[in-house]
Amino acid sequence: MKTLAALVFPGFQTLDYFGPMEMLGDLGEELRIITVAETLDPVPSVHGQRILPDKAIADGSDYDLLLIPGGESAHEAAKSSDLAAWIVETANRAERVMTVCTGSILLATTGMLDGRKATTNKLDFTRTVPLAPNVEWVRQARWVEDGKFFTSSGVSAGMDMTLAAIADLFGVETAREIAEGTEYEWHDDATWDPFAKRAGLV
């Protein structure tokens, strides 16, 4: 059984986190999901639902997988040096690291994506990518895979990226079964990204 640290911080974007949770949670016995936050206090999503963390960052950084959601408040979260240190330590140890939306920026500002290809939210792209200038930002992509890093475009794209990461780790048939079981039309082509054009990026 693998373990996943699923990070939350105040104001995280609801679907950035819970879309991947649905897909990863459907792995059942294959994966133990642990919700991690800076402290054990309830963490509100941007839409106000309060989540109880299972572990605090002080409890350790030894997880097989790491998920980082985004949200407008990811920029605030990026200011915590304790959180940045935990992200670096956890990402260094993990075999796969997944980020959704501006969660990519939160990871990138630690330097972990320097020299790598990555993507993030398209509507905020021009405003956010200068915060991590040493990343090779991809303007049009539903998600980008570079080594152990899977970074996705905005909000809903997290589900497509997560299914790709599941396919990579557990086989494409497992990913397809989860998509089917959730009646989800998986965009399984990483280059599918109509939002880049609509945001004027290409």
Would you count residue 201 as binding its own copies (CB under 8 A)?
Answer: no
Residue ranges in 67-106 that form contacts with its own copies under rule CB under 8 A: none
Residue 6 in tokens: 């699923």
Would you count residue 22 as binding its own copies (CB under 8 A)?
Answer: yes
Pairing of strands 143-146, 149-152: antiparallel
User: Given strand 143-146, what is the order of strands in its sheet?
Assistant: 55-56, 31-37, 2-7, 65-68, 96-99, 149-152, 143-146
Question: What CA–CA distance (Å, rounded) separates 23 from 196?
Answer: 24
| Of residues 170 and 184, the one with the C-beta less far from its own copies | 184
Query: Are the CB atoms for 51 and 12 separated by under 8 Å?
Result: no
Would you count residue 123 as binding its own copies (CB under 8 A)?
Answer: yes
Shortest distance, position 75 Cβ to its own copies, whole Å: 17
Q: Which window, 76-84, 132-140, 166-174, 184-192, contacts its own copies (CB under 8 A)?
A: 184-192
List contacts with its own copies (CB under 8 A): 13-15, 17-19, 21-22, 24-26, 33, 35, 42, 45-52, 54, 121-123, 153-157, 180-185, 187, 194-195, 198
